[in-house]
Amino acid sequence: MDVNGGLEHPLAIDGVQDNSCYIFECVFWAFNHCIDDFNYCKPIVQVDRTFLTEKYHGTLLTAIGQDGNRNVFPLAFAIVEEFAWEGHGLLSVYCIRHIASNFNKKFKNAEAKRQLINMGRRYDHITTNLAECMNSVLKKARSLPICALVKTIFERTKSWFVERGTKIRCMLRVGHQYPEDIIALLRENEQQSAILNDWWCYCGEFQALQFPCAHVIVVYSTCHLQPKKFIDLIYSLQYILRAYKVEFHPVRNEDY
The alpha helices in 86-137, defined as continuous H runs, are: 96-107, 110-120, 129-137
Contact 57, 51 (CB under 8 A): yes
pLDDT, one tens digit per residue, over 213-243 is 777 776 776 677 776 777 888 888 998 999 9
22: helix, strand or coil: strand
Distance CA 29, CA 10 (A): 7
pLDDT, one tens digit per residue, over 101-152 is 888 888 888 887 777 777 766 777 777 788 888 888 998 999 999 889 999 9
pLDDT, one tens digit per residue, over 11-34 is 555 545 556 666 777 889 998 889
Record the pTM.
Answer: 0.69
Contact 255, 183 (CB under 8 A): no
CB neighbour class for 149 (10 Å; exposed up to 12, middle 13-18, buried from 19): buried
Contact 237, 168 (CB under 8 A): yes
Distance CA 39, CA 34 (A): 9
pLDDT, one tens digit per residue, over 140-156 is 999 999 889 999 999 99
